[in-house]
């Protein structure tokens, strides 16, 4: 999907951002809030019991076939333990969309240096809520599971369902955007994770959604896609410190609103 749409991603995200930044430089705009994404990290933060924090390599097919889904330490081959990624983590985009988001942050930094303006790069986590796209490969997993349940089908959860994510409601995200636009944090570009602060597994989210919709239990398939990220969850403490913002909507309450909205 990424490669087939590579020109669309680049024209919308890279060229679109460049055009906007050029216009803001001419207008003397002092600050911008940029919609980035948690995908800039690639995999999240991992620790090895012997080697501390390490960057995992690609997962091995033989491990995936054997049901070992967590990545291994590149130094000793031990299975790694996931943690929370902070804004100072290295950026490691794993697909075209992620690469355009990283490039957008780099363009933003160049614009800030050239103009003396400030910017906040909001790294959104798994956003869900009313109005999200449905029945499309571009939708998030919450939307895909919702569509299955609406048709009376059980959500199909890949791997073992223990993939860690941070599902954040769109209303909380909107509040973070407003706060960042009203409260510039300079100088230069300030990256901030925007998440709920609660680690949820993909299987756990599917279970809550099935309960909310009164649908069939999720099915954990064991199937996998080699390019999928296993765990990516982040600390949003910096957003609380810089913006005075924290997410307020729980996953169950947010999913109940999503289902009730019909959108």
- The set of catalytic residues is 97
Residues 217/132, Cβ–Cβ less than 8 Å = no
Helices (H), the chain: 6-9, 16-27, 61-65, 96-115, 141-150, 170-182, 202-213, 237-243, 251-261
Question: How far apart are the C-alpha atoms of 209 and 214, rounded to whole Å?
Answer: 8
Residues 229/151, Cβ–Cβ less than 8 Å = no
Question: How far apart are the C-alpha atoms of 152 and 213, rounded to whole Å?
Answer: 10
Residues 152/210, Cβ–Cβ less than 8 Å = no
Distances (CA, A) of 170 to 25, 176, 177, 196, 210: 29, 10, 10, 10, 20
Percentages helix, strand, coil for the chain, rounded to the nearest 5?
Answer: 40, 20, 40
Q: Pull the structure tokens for residue 32.
A: 């911008």
CA dihedral sign, ordered 85, 44, 126, 102: positive
Q: Pull the structure tokens for residue 7.
A: 């020109």
Nearest CA to 10 out of 106, 122, 97 is that of: 97
DSSP 1: -
Backbone conformation region of residue 135, classed left if phi is above 0, alpha if psi is from -120 to 50, else beta: left
């Amino acid at each position: 999907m990424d490669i087939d749409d590579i020109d669309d991603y680049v024209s919308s995200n890279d060229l679109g951002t460049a055009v906007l930044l050029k216009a803001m430089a001419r207008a003397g705009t002092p600050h911008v809030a940029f919609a980035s994404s948690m995908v800039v990290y690639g995999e999240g933060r991992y620790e090895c019991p012997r080697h501390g924090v390490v960057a995992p390599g690609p997962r091995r097919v033989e491990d995936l076939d054997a049901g070992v889904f967590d990545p291994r330490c590149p130094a000793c081959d031990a299975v790694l333990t996931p943690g929370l990624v902070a804004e100072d983590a290295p950026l490691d985009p794993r697909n075209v969309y992620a690469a355009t988001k990283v490039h957008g942050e780099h363009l933003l930094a160049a614009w800030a240096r050239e103009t003396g303006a400030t910017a906040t790069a909001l790294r959104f986590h798994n956003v869900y809520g009313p109005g999200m796209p449905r029945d499309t490969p571009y939708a998030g997993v919450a939307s895909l599971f919702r569509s299955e349940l609406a048709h009376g089908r059980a959500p199909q959860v890949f791997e073992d369902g223990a993939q860690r994510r941070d599902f954040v409601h769109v209303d909380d995200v909107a509040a973070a955007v407003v706060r960042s636009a009203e409260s510039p944090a300079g100088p230069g570009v300030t990256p901030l994770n925007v998440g709920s602060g609660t680690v949820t597994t993909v299987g756990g989210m599917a279970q809550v959604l099935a309960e909310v919709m009164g649908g069939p239990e999720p099915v954990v398939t064991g199937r996998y896609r080699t390019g999928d990220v296993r765990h990516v969850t982040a600390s949003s403490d910096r957003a609380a410190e810089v913006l005075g913002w924290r997410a307020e909507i729980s996953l169950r309450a947010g999913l109940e609103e999503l289902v009730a909205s019909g959108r």
